[in-house]
Structure formats: structure tokens, C-alpha cells
Amino acid sequence: MKNKKLYLICCLALLIVIAATGCVAPPKDTSVGETYTYNPAGVTPSTTTLTSYVTDVTPFINSQEAKVCQTETLGYHTFTTPTPLPSDKSCRIKTTTQSFSYNASAFTFNLKNPPMYINYTVIPTNITGKKVVNSQYLSKDEQVISYDMYDPQSYFVITVRNKTSGKVYLEDGFGTDYTTYLTRTLKVLNTDDMLIEIKGNKITATVSFWVKPSGNFDNPDNVTFDACTYWDVIPRDNTDLAYVTGTETPKWNG
């Protein structure tokens, strides 16, 4: 009887163990590369939406502002050109083309409202030839070189002075003592009764003189000019630029 009870207890224990192992689910496979986020609070993360703090609108247009001309460029900027004032208009009062050979000419003008713009273009005399020089190499052999250069005697000078005292306000031009710019625009900023003189040698020059009608003439609206422009708005060689056709660089003959 005792053996039968012991057998039943063993069978009952075995059934309990089998039942307990059947309630545990087998472990799931973990995919390689799966990412886990540390979330100690157990809060389910929500989707983030970007918030715009500004509102896109059309740029403000002020109808009271003066209209200006705009020139579009190929770059990233728009350059704005202000509308010139009628009082800044300069008109040509004289133009002349002369070939100089140690000669000069002059005229007077009472410049009451400066500036006066003087624009000139010159054609100097070139000289060409050949000469024998020592080579710059170690052999120091004699070499024949060709040259093409401005004639050192070719020059052009503009002088602006007080017509009574002779005080010089401007003196500039082309040549050995000045520049080798073939086209330039000079500016006279003084107020005075001027004597303007142009002179030169072995050169041909075209010169034009420009002033503002306003302030320089008693009745500017009744004066007729053949050409007018706005020098301060439209760049016209106010910065000297070289347009040299001749060269003083020797050309070595082989």
C-alpha cells in the first residue's frame, strides 16, 4: 500500500513539472542590426513635426520711393543705378582734333560751377628699328634686336590755369613726363576764370571739354549744345586705363 502511494506521488510530481514547462514560450530570434532605444520612463516616442516660426510673404513695395533703373548681371547681385539729376548733366562746349608739331592752342572759359571734364584720345608716333646689343646670356655675344616703341619726342599736354595770374590748376597728358594712356578723362574742380592750353609734338589728339549748363550760363535752357551726358553716373574712363598699341619690349632675332 505504501509503495502504491509513493508511485502516485511520483507520477503527480512528474505531471506538474511537464505542465510547468509547457507554459513557457520558446525564445524569439533576434535580427542582426536591430536598434533599441533606451527609454527608462516607458513613454512611447511620438513623430516630430518641424514648426515654422515665420510666414513667407511678398516683399513690401513702397509706392512713395523714386523709381530706379536696375541692371541684371550674370552673378548673384542686382546693381542699382540711381536716376541722375538734371542739374548734374554736363554738355560739350568745345571739341577739337589737332596734329601737333611743337605747337599749341588755347581758349578761355569762366568756370563758375565745376567740375569741368576734359576727355582726350591721342595717336602718338611710333618708331621702329634694329640695334646691336650684348647678349644677356653667359656668352655675351652681340645680338640684333628689333624695337617698336613710342617716339620719346611724342607728347601731349593739357594745362588749365588762371588766365590772369597763371596759377596752374591742372597739368597732365601723354608722354615721357606723364603717362602712356591713350584715352583719359581729366577733371577740373576749381572755380575760376580759366585759360585752357593744349600743346604737343609728333602726336594727333582729339579733345573735348564738358561743363554743367546750370550755373555756368545765364540762361542754360536757351543754350544749344551738340552733346550732353552724365559723367558722374556713367563710367567714362575716369579711372585711367592703358590702351597702348606700341611696346618697348625688345624682340630678339634668332
Give me the domain span that covers residue 212. Answer: 87-125+152-243
For cell 548734374, the residue is 88
Does some domain include residue 41? no
Range with top average pLDDT, 23-32, 49-58, 73-82, 163-172: 163-172
What pLDDT, on the 0 to 100 scale, is given for residue 179? 92
Does some domain include residue 215? yes
Question: If we measure between CA atoms, which residue out of 107, 106, 116, 108 comes closest to residue 215?
Answer: 116
For residues 71-97, average pLDDT: 73
Distance (Å, whole) CA 99 – CA 111: 27
**pTM to 2 decimals?**
0.58
What pLDDT, on the 0 to 100 scale, is given for residue 82? 66
pLDDT tens for 5-55 read: 666 677 676 667 666 555 555 555 544 444 444 454 444 444 444 444 444
> Residue 43: helix, strand or coil by DSSP?
coil
What pLDDT, on the 0 to 100 scale, is given for residue 4? 63
Does some domain include residue 99? yes
Does some domain include residue 138? no
What pLDDT, on the 0 to 100 scale, is given for residue 247? 37
Distance (Å, whole) CA 193 – CA 207: 20
What pLDDT, on the 0 to 100 scale, is given for residue 185? 94
Is pLDDT of 140 > 90? no
> In this structure, is the dihedral angle defined by the CA atoms of residues 88, 94, 99 and 104, taken in order, positive or negative?
negative
What pLDDT, on the 0 to 100 scale, is given for residue 152? 93
In the chain, which residue ranges form alpha helices assigned H by DSSP? 2-22
Does some domain include residue 228? yes
What pLDDT, on the 0 to 100 scale, is given for residue 233? 54
pLDDT band at 231 (very low <50, low <70, confident <90, very high): confident
Q: How many domains does the chain have?
A: 1
Is pLDDT of 59 > 50? no
What pLDDT, on the 0 to 100 scale, is given for residue 132? 81
Type and span of the H or E element at 142: strand 142-150
Does some domain include residue 231? yes
* 151/136: higher pLDDT: 151
16-20, 94-98, 157-161: the lowest-pLDDT one: 16-20
**Number of Cα atoms under 13 Å in the Cβ half of residue 80:** 5
Is pLDDT of 229 > 60? yes
For residues 219-223, average pLDDT: 87
Q: What is the CATH number of the domain that holds 214?
A: 2.60.120.380
For residues 173-178, average pLDDT: 93
Please give the mean pLDDT across all residues of the chain.
74
pLDDT band at 182 (very low <50, low <70, confident <90, very high): very high
Does some domain include residue 236? yes
Does some domain include residue 165? yes
Is pLDDT of 220 > 50? yes
For residues 182-191, average pLDDT: 95
Range with top average pLDDT, 6-10, 145-149, 161-165: 161-165
